[in-house]
Structure formats: C-alpha cells, structure tokens
Amino acid sequence: MVGMQKSVSDQVVEMLVAAGVSRIYGMAGDALHPFMEALQRDARIRWVHVRHEETAAFAASAEAQLTGELAVCCGSCGPGNLHLINGLYDACRSAAPVLAIAAHLPTLQIGTHYIHETHPTFFFRECAAYAELVSRPRQLPPVLAEAMRMARARSGVGMLVLPGDVAGMPCVDDAAESPVLPPVPPLLHPGAGVIPRMADILGSSQRITFLCGIGCAGVEKDIVALARHLQAPVAYTLRAKDLLEKDNPNAVGMTGLLGWGAAVHAVLDCDVLVMWGTDFPYRDFLPRKVRVIQVDTDAAVLGRRVPLVQAVQADAGVVARHLLQEVPPNQSDDFLRTMLNHHAREVASISQCLRVVDEDAPLRPELLTRLVSDHAEPDAVFTVDTGTPDIWCARYLQANGTRRILGSFNHGSMGCALAMAIGAKATCRTRQVIALCGDGGLSMLAGDLLSLLQEGLAVKVLVYNNSELDYAAIEQLRAGIPSPVGTALRTTSFAAVARAMGMRAWRVSRVEEAIPAIKAWLAADGPALLDAAVDRHALPLPPGLTFMEGLGYCKSLGEQSAHASLDTVKRLLFGNRRFFC
C-alpha cells in the first residue's frame, strides 16, 4: 500500500463485505500477508484461525450448508491452498456455495519451479465451478465478482487465485464491479403433460414408495401430505433425516449401508418408486424391475442411478402440490401397513440394546448416541464423521424438526466432524453444536481442538473411542478378508490429550458413568470433550439381511476373533441383539 492508497487486498475485503461475508476461515502465511493486513485495517470480517487449511474448507462448507449463503476460506500459496482440496470437494458435492481464496507466488516467480509453486487453476478444476488467476489489479473486480456469482449460481466452489505481489498493489479505482449476487432461483415448474402422466402412473398403482433426499428441503410437508394421500411409505437419505423423520407417519427409515427400519423392503418391494430430490448412489439398494420416477431440479442426475419410466426436471414441492390435486387417493393401505409393521419390528430389534443394558459389558455406542440425543438441546447442530459414527447417527440420533445434521455425506471424507463443527459454531454461536467423531477421524485433524480454544467456540466433541477403524474393518470382512489389515489403532486417551491442551474433558467406559458425564460435558462452559471407550465389537449390520445372512456375517467376525478371549467371542456372536434378542 502506497501512503493511504487502497490496495487490491483492500478492494477484495470491500467486495466481500458488500456481498455479506462476515467471517473467513484460514491459516495465515507468506503470500496472504497483504490480505491479512487489509482484513486488520477494515475489521468488518472476522478471521477464524484454524490449524489446518482442510479444516478451513470443511468449516466454510458447513457454514454455507447451514445458512445457504456464501462462505469463504483461504489458503496460502502452494501447500497451503492444496490443503483446501478435501473440504472443497465436500462443498462441491454438497452443493454448498463457497469462495476459496488461494494465494499464489509473486507473478515473476510463476513458471520458474520456485518453492511452493503449484497451479491452482488446474489443480482445483474438478471441484470448482470457477477458478481464475488475477495477474494485474484491473482484473480483480470482475474476476472476484464472477467467482462469487458462480459459487452462488452453481451452488459450488468459486476460486480466486491471487499472487502475493498483486494482492499488495494499488487497486484501480475506476475498475469498480458490482458484487451483487444472483437472487434465489425461481421455482422450476414441470413441463406440459408431465403432471397428467405422473398422475396416471401413480393412480394405477397401490404399492408406491417415496425415496426422499436433501432436494426436499423446505417442501417436506408437501411430500408427506402427498405420501399420506397415496398411502406411500417414505424412505429417506441421511442428508434428509432431519427433514423427514419427524412428523411423518409414513416414515420407514433409511436404506443403504447405513440404513435401518423397513426402508430397504419398501424400496425394493414396491410397484412404483418415486425419487424426490435425491441422487442416491447405491445401486444395490435400488430396484431394477419396478417403475421409477425421479423428480429433481438438476437434469444431470435424472436416470443416473436406475432406469426411469419418467424423468421430471422440476421443484419437488411444485410437483407434489400439483399431484395432490390431480391423483385420486389410494384406497388401499395394505402395502403401507405392511411396511409400517415391519418398520416397528425392525426399530424394536435395533433398540433392544437400549432397553437391555449389561452393566458389566463395555459401553455400547448405540446407547451412548441415544443418551447424547436425549440430553442435547432441541435445536442442536450435530456434525458427524464418516464411518460408524454415521451409522449410530442414522439409527439412534433423534431428529425433531429443528435439529440439523451435517457430515461429508456425498464426499465421504473421514475427519470432517470437528472441522464442520467449527464452521457451524462460528456461524451460530448461541446454538449448541456437537461433533460426533470417530477416534480415527479426530486423529486426522486433532490439532484443531486448539482452534476451538483460541476462537472461543464452545463445541462439544464426542469421541467414539474403540481403538479401531471399525468401518474399514467391516468393509474388509464384507469383501471376504477374514482378518482385517491395517485397521487397529493404538489405544489413546483423547481426554488426556484435550486436558493437556487446556480443554475440559471426561473419559467414560461403563454405562453407569455415561449419564453424569454427558450432563457435565454438555453443561460445560466453552469447548469440551467426552472420550467414550466404546465396545469395539458393536456390530452395525447392513439392513435387509436374512437371518442366515446375519449368522454368516457374525461368523466371519467370530473367525476374526478366534484367538480372543471367550468373553469377546461370546459378545461378538451373541451380543448383537439385532438378531439375538
């Protein structure tokens, strides 16, 4: 900055403020220095300091998903911005509008194989809707405005690549560019003839199932009303759990590997399946011999997973409201009653471990999850690690219509829960935020426990500590590997680690310790960690298995523990009350 003249970085900050940005997640370094100085001078945007840039990108993704507004993360040049990649992939696949500012080498060093040299515009191409390098001050306003517009319009990642020397140059005042972002797109109405054809298909069938995804957000009441009209069971994805589990008398749980309840049977045994706002990817859990209708605003996903009898590019709520007027009510509730009865039996089966508690056995993760759910605030935000925490969340965390559940559900990245909790809490400081972490996932970004303390973010961190990458072990067993390789973890007291950092922490391993510890943990001022040593043999069986398939599944785990203690083998083979109850 020359004298009091405004720099390019000052101009970036002004445009971000005008676009409604109030915080940026990142880690300071090298080519970011001019931008950091501009943030300090302006003081209208809060810098949320993290210990790893991957955390910054996941945090921005979480903020964008919670608010629907543009969120921003930053990475210094070279390795710094490369660390953003995993979280930006998550934002891309979660349709979260995120602006990533990637600092770059000074322009004279680009192309000379200088230390830290990378080419972000190429590297991030697959996960970014827009990525462009600013090589001189006059470029900045239109390029930044376009990056923000594309992130919002495409619900994805817009990337600004800013060399360090350009960031510190005087800006060009006459190169003003409007940072106005596009309005929320209007509702997409179905084309002529679409509704009558759908009405004909649905009106001629009595065994109809709905499979609903995040595309039902905001219109879930319309979907449920139509389901009741058609006597259709409603299955849903994990991203739609907090939308469609509560106040839905037709709900039959989730399908897929994380599934529970009667959803698998409802989807596979129907005559007509209607997929609402979902690109559900698991083809083994989709039918092949029934008529399928798919409704989505994104034409690219229509028919991607399963052949369709009708593809409908339209807003799910608009279609549901039209159909409610056009389709006569289904007079037969036989299919719905059958599925609801099956669902009740399945729920009772997987809930057995909540009712019959062995005081001498290790703490079950299913019971732990339900206890946390019961004691958490009604509007809590839960962030969930990929792996068995996903399964416990899907089956035992109770959605009530006001809670939110965030995770890397489309990208499937480990280690996301703590990072996303930072973004959720920074966005909603008065709202309870709980991170459900696996021990393997938390280990990946454990340094950002310090970020909670530094930023004063009162996140409650739960660690399912079973000293194993248990989901990876399950996948190996399903693949026929009798003794999983590379999944054992060194036993670690995360409570001791957290206390060494200056955080309040509790460690529990028995049922009688759980409730007092959960109450104290949730009531603690500031960030806190609950380290739960849970039963490593808790068995999250895939849904829809027959009794004999379940026995075979248990047998493979029993073979894995052939040299373990008799108590361990008993717990493996007979402790899984999903079958033995």
User: Tens of pLDDT along 163-174?
Assistant: 999 999 999 875
The CATH number of residue 225's host domain is 3.40.50.1220
The CATH number of residue 87's host domain is 3.40.50.970
What single letter denotes the amino acid at residue 433? V
Q: Quick check: 577 pLDDT over 60?
A: no
Q: Is residue 553 part of a domain?
A: no
Residue pLDDT, tens place only, 232-287: 999 999 999 999 999 999 999 999 888 899 999 999 999 999 999 999 998 989 99
Buried b / exposed e along 183-202 (16+ C-beta atoms within 10 A): eeeeebebeeebbeebbebb
Same domain for 154 and 201: no
Same domain for 506 and 371: yes
What string of H, E and C letters represents the secondary structure of 211-251? EECHHHCCCHHHHHHHHHHHCCCEEECHHHHHHHCCCCCCE
Supply the pTM of this predicted model: 0.90
Same domain for 314 and 248: yes
- Measure the CA–CA gap between 577 and 563, rounded to whole angstroms: 23
| More confident call, 473 vs 91 | 91
Q: What is the pLDDT of residue 477?
A: 66
Q: Is residue 572 part of a domain?
A: no
Q: Quick check: 528 pLDDT over 80?
A: yes
Same domain for 320 and 392: no
Same domain for 139 and 92: yes
Q: Quick check: 490 pLDDT over 90?
A: no
Same domain for 238 and 100: no
Q: Quick check: 370 pLDDT over 50?
A: yes
Q: Per-residue DSSP letters for 72-115?
A: EEEE-TTHHHHTTHHHHHHHHHTT--EEEEEEE--GGGTTTT-T
The pLDDT of 153-162, averaged and rounded, is 95
Same domain for 366 and 324: no
Same domain for 451 and 475: yes
Q: Per-residue DSSP letters for 349-409?
A: HHTHHHHS--TTSPBPHHHHHHHHHHHS-TT-EEEE-SSHHHHHHHHHSPP-SS-EEEE-T
- Among 300, 324, 345, the domain-final residue is 345
Q: Is residue 369 part of a domain?
A: yes
Q: What is the pLDDT of residue 574?
A: 46
- Among 522, 540, 558, the domain-final residue is 540
Range among 210-224, 246-260, 554-568 with highest mean pLDDT value:
210-224
For residue 262, the enclosing domain spans 194-345
Structurally, how many domains does the chain consist of?
Answer: 3
Q: Is residue 564 part of a domain?
A: no
